[in-house]
Amino acid sequence: MGASETRQQIVDVADRLFYERGFEATSFADIARDAGLSRGNFYYHFKTKDEILAAVIGGRVEKTRAILEAWARNADSPADRIRSFVHILITNRTRIMAHGCPVGTLCNELAKLDHAAKEDAARLFSLFRDWLARQFAMLGREADADALALHLLMRSQGVAVLATAFRDEAFIYREVSDMEAWLQTQCPATSLSRSRQSV
């Protein structure tokens, strides 16, 4: 296997383990075992744990950008795009109930560790925040687009935390419906009623 493929394999495994078990709780040995490598070979690709964390965050940034672009492509109206965001709570509900939100839990852990990469992790939130704000602006809410984006992001994080603690699937569905109802009240009727038909 070439160096770049092995490196990518390491990043993929580390990404999964950092999410499922946490950054601190995941050892090099864990990553090497799941990637099918010896620990010695591992250090050929990554010198420090912080290096692999940076690679994981960088990979998540790229994946997030791709998802946001796909949502923008696949939905005609800004309201439908926002609904795409809301619905990841349902799509990923099983993993969220087991391990929380990948972004929120990483930011929390790095904040507690006062880790140098905590700002980089928070930038993952900013990707969603700025994208959502653009959709709200397109819905005619230029003045408070960022506040609305943060509000929706806040709700999705709150749902993720409680879904993990209580493992309550009905709660997730209820709050997603509530977020959609809130969305209705926040935006001009025309663009929303049009988009509702496509749901």
Instruction: List contacts with DNA (CB under 7 A).
Output: 1-3, 6, 26-30, 36-41, 43-45, 47-50
Residue 130 in the binding site for its own copies (CB under 8 A): no
| Part in contact with its own copies (CB under 8 A); list of ranges 27-35, 55-63, 168-176, 191-199 | 168-176
Question: Rounded to whole angstroms, how far apart are CA atoms 15 and 18?
Answer: 5
Dihedrals phi, psi of 197, to nearest 5 degrees: -65, -25
Q: Give Cα separations from 174 to 11, 45, 125, 159, 195 (angstroms).
A: 35, 45, 23, 10, 21
User: Taking the complex as a whole, how short is the minimal distance between the CB of residue 59 and DNA, in angstroms?
Assistant: 18
Range in contact with its own copies (rule: CB under 8 A) among 47-55, 68-76, 85-93, 161-169:
161-169
Query: Following DSSP, what letter does each residue of 75-97 receive, concatenated?
Result: -SSHHHHHHHHHTHHHHTHHHHH
Q: Tell me the closest approach of the beta carbon of residue 185 to DNA, in angstroms.
A: 47
Query: Of residues 6-45, which lie at the interface with its own copies (CB under 8 A)?
Result: 20-22, 24-25
- Report the nearest approach of DNA to the CB of residue 7 (Å): 8
How many whole angstroms separate alpha carbon 42 and alpha carbon 146? 42
Cα(33)–Cα(36) distance, integer angstroms: 5
Shortest approach of DNA to residue 195 CB, angstroms? 46
The distance of closest approach from Cβ of residue 18 to DNA in the complex, given in angstroms and rounded to an integer, is 11
Distance CA 144, CA 158 (A): 21
Binding residue for its own copies, selected from 6, 7, 125, 186, defined by CB under 8 A: 125
Which of 60, 142, 68, 146 shows the shortest CA–CA distance to 104?
60
Binding site for its own copies (CB under 8 A): 20-22, 24-25, 98-101, 104-105, 107-109, 111-113, 121-122, 125, 147, 150-151, 153-159, 161-162, 164-166, 171, 174-175, 178
